[in-house]
Amino acid sequence: RQAQADGADALLLVTPYYNKTSQAGLVAHYTAIANAVDLPCILYNVPSRTGCNLTPASLAELAKLPNINAVKEASGNISQVAEIAAACGDELNIYSGNDDQIVPLLALGGKGVISVLSNVAPQYTHDICAKWFAGETQESLQMQLKALPLCKALFADVNPIPVKWAMNCLGWQAGACRLPLVEPSAAVQAQLETAMRDFGLL
């Protein structure tokens, strides 16, 4: 409610962490949020960070709510994405939460990506999706493959440590990470610099 009062256009709602609830608990949690606001809600499934996976069956139930209209899927499990698409159809928009899986998710009916890569290569990330939707699927695929080393480097340490370093390196003055996040190691910095140079950013 506070976010809505402060002018938010939509909500990105990560699954609860530490209190790793049941699927029934997740449905109740998200239903309570959706009923409390008038904003579009994007559910964020990233079990590698929260220890809690939002299943296709739960998403199908939540997709019945009018303002739950998307999921940022970052489980990394392409089979699960396919099951979500099959279970939810047009009732739920699917966005990739993993930059190395943009094209696979688009191939399963995804609508785009909520991206880390876009912080350092926004036009490029946009064009991966735009080319796919324009029917230029081979070009989209080749762009996805070209970006893989940079995507890997951007996750060589805990996000957002590498991307903030990369943005600072490009002059965007993203600032330092707050504790408990610290600067990337010299090895990660070297990997990032190499990947950025090979990609043409430096």
Q: Catalytic positions, please?
A: 44, 72
User: No. of H helices and E strands in the chain?
Assistant: 10, 5
Whole-angstrom distance, CA of residue 91 vs CA of residue 97: 19
Token code pair at residue 23: 């699927």
- Give the SS3 label for residue 131: helix
> For residues 149 and 160, what is the distance between their CA atoms, to the nearest angstrom?
17
Q: What is the DSSP string of 23-72?
A: HHHHHHHHHHHHHH--S-EEEEE-HHHHS----HHHHHHHTTSTTEEEEE
